[in-house]
Amino acid sequence: MEGKTEVPFERAERLKILILTSIAIVCSFLSLAVRHYPILLCIVAILAVYLLSGNRYQWIYIWRKTVYRDLKGLKVILATMFNVWLWERNGTTVTTRWEEIARKTPDKKALVMGDRALTFREGDELSNRIAWYFKHQGFKPGEVIALFMETQPEYVFLWLGLAKIRVTTALVNTNLRGKRLVYCLRIAECKAVVFGDEMSDAIKEIQTELHDMPLFQFNSPDRTAAPILQDTIPLSTEITGMSVESFKDSESAKPRDTLLYIYTSGTTGFPKAAVVTNIRYLLIPLGVHKSADLSSSDVIYDPLPLHHTAGGVLGVGQCIILGCTVVLRKKFSASNYWSDAAKHGCTAAQYIGEICRYLLMVPPGSNDKAHNVKVMIGNGLRPQIWEEFVKRFNIPRVLEFYGATEGNCNLVNLDSKVGAIGFLSRLVSSIYPLTLVKCDEITGEILRDDKGRCITCSPSEPGLLLGKIDPKQAILTFAGYADKTASEKKMVRNVKVDGDCYFNTGDILVMDHYGYFYFKDRTGNTFRWRGENVSTAEVEGVISNLVGLRDVIVYGVAIPNIEGKAGMAAIADPNNSLDLEGLEKGLSTSLPAYARPLFLRILPEPPLTVTFKLQKKELVEQGFDLTKLTDPVFFMDQKMGKYVPLTQKLYEDIMNGCVRL
């Protein structure tokens, strides 16, 4: 298992012997001095035996290794919880916090993209115009308006303006089209759609199905001359006559009120609209701000889509909630990443999914270290490339974190431990109750003991991560989804005691002796072959390194009358330059036989989500069925010891059991 760390017991035992010997010598002298006090000597001896017997020395050693990390973690979580508690007690919402920040630094740049920027004053004025306009249009608190627009500084102040009149904004993925787009609008019960002029074609395609929704077209200042789609309202023009004075509602919003809907990626089905409350939007950027030791003078590089939590909450939240300047980019560019960061003087930068791997694939250049980035913030940095990444780009610190838009299980790697997605200290386990429980790694079914309770995992034992739900504490709440049925499916009850309730992350993690967590796989992604469990995430990491950091997706495929599932790897090879022979040799030395893919599929381009995660649903459905594929497929011939083209005849022989596997 990648990332496991064993306690160095050899060194510990040598130290233990040295200490015991020293104690024996000291006791010899003590016996002379305390000849008349045998009870004192007995107490000393008993205490020494207690501390140095069994596993007690191991825990002393671990404590010594982790005490600084744990105290820092305790400081971060207590400071975050106190701030959030204070905000909730005072009735602070995102809009009231924004107004406070905007008043302090009105002329400071808030959001920057390319050569264009909006100051805090300009952003506030735009949000006020939006608030007054939609108030005059008759929209009421609690109603939902969809925002369907590519990244630009105005994006943020559109939803912020709607928040001022307590209208919830559904941040719709700009890659959605057709039925999936309509579904996302309907599931959130949207009353209207605000769309960017660049999304006109997508809206036109479904316009007849949206006859009951007013459509507001917002033309970016970069494209003021863009034509207005028929039967839509030109929002950019309409708001010019609106007041820039601060909008004050007769009834204030509350910290637990819904602020946004953010959709899950939908890699295993249709996207779900996750509820983001005011207090959660306050919490996420604050927690990262404290963890990364940022201040309002930091400049954050955020090249991620704004309809996703990483870009639109964690990144932009550094501006809205904490007063930082945030630099945006319309679409992520690996070749321009470091030049953008240097141009704008960024001191912190975000990554997600496979971004770090893409940055390493760019040929080395002068921009690699010509920047002032002191910390990289994100999730998904693979352990296999971690050290190479920080060395090449001279990154002093990586703040890898784990979390989900709707979840209450957040972990942070505060000390840049290679491969770790975070840690949980015993100092905070009582106030931040996360747990790993045993499950069937194939189905994700949670295993329970004879009393019906979940079974807690030991160190180095993979398990499903659960987080206790406590509605009284903002940091432990689970607001769920717009679809209440979907919310219920994510909750696990009677985990440790009757009546308790936990959030199910759906992720299988491993915790080592030091309390560091490592990602293993998503439940359902692990498959069983030759009596062994195969983690797709681990195999993907190994193969990606062997093929020059290309995109790799690993999954299991069923073969008639064969137990378990055989491994199949889809590899993106747009230049048709894959070295199969080199891959075969690398796999034979890097992976056990049961984990080596039996099938290879060569893709012209990778199927990616907007957050740079690899999608495998359609690939799994197609399997190695040649009637459904046009891409080249190869099969590992056991006798020849190499991959050979999968022909129709070979496919039929495999399906009929004529080929020995």
pLDDT tens digits for range 304-358: 999 999 999 999 999 999 999 999 999 999 999 999 999 999 999 999 988 998 9
For 138, counting Cβ atoms within 10 Å of its Cβ (0-12 exposed, 13-18 middle, 19+ buried), the class is exposed
SS3 content of the chain, % helix, strand, coil (to 5): 40, 20, 40
CA atoms within 13 A on the CB side of 414: 24
Report angle CA 539, 541, 546 to the nearest 5 degrees. Answer: 95
How far CA 239 is from CA of 136, 158, 166, 476, in Å, comes to 11, 11, 18, 39
pLDDT at 5 (0 to 100): 42
Per-residue H/E/C for 540-608? HHHHHHHCCCCCEEEEEECCCCCCCCEEEEEEECCCCCCCHHHHHHHHHHHCCHHHCCCEEEEECCCCE
| 209-229: burial string, b at 16+ Cβ within 10 Å, e else | ebeebebbbbbbeeeeebeeb
Residue holding tokens 């744990």?
Answer: 70
User: Residues 6 or more apart from 215 whose CB is under 8 A from it?
Assistant: 192, 193, 195, 203, 207, 229, 231, 232, 233
Maximal C-alpha separation, the chain:
103
Q: Which residues of the chain have pLDDT under 70?
A: 1-59, 265-269, 427, 531, 609-614
pLDDT at 38 (0 to 100): 57
Q: In what order do the strands lie in the sheet with 144-148?
A: 233-234, 215-218, 190-196, 144-148, 168-171, 258-263, 273-277
Structure token digits, residue 598: 């039996």
pLDDT at 253 (0 to 100): 92
pLDDT at 165 (0 to 100): 97
DSSP string over 49-93: HHHHSTTHHHHHHHHHHHHHHHHHHHHHHHHHHHHHHHHHHTT--
At position 656, the amino acid (one-letter code) is N
User: Residues 6 or more apart from 375 whose CB is under 8 A from it?
Assistant: 292, 293, 294, 347, 348, 349, 395, 396, 397, 398, 399
pLDDT at 265 (0 to 100): 66
| 519-534: burial string, b at 16+ Cβ within 10 Å, e else | bbbbbbbbbbbeeebb
pLDDT at 48 (0 to 100): 54
Please, are residues 346 and 303 in contact by the beta-carbon 8 Å criterion?
no
Residue holding tokens 């949206």?
Answer: 210
List the alpha helices (DSSP H) in 292-411. Answer: 309, 317-320, 337-343, 355-361, 386-392
- Residue 170 backbone dihedrals phi, psi, to 5 degrees: -95, 115
Please, are residues 572 and 550 in contact by the beta-carbon 8 Å criterion?
yes
At position 460, the amino acid (one-letter code) is S
Q: How far apart are CA 581 and CA 564, in angstroms?
A: 27
pLDDT at 646 (0 to 100): 94
pLDDT at 65 (0 to 100): 84
pLDDT tens digits for range 466-510: 999 998 888 889 998 988 888 898 999 999 999 999 999 988 999
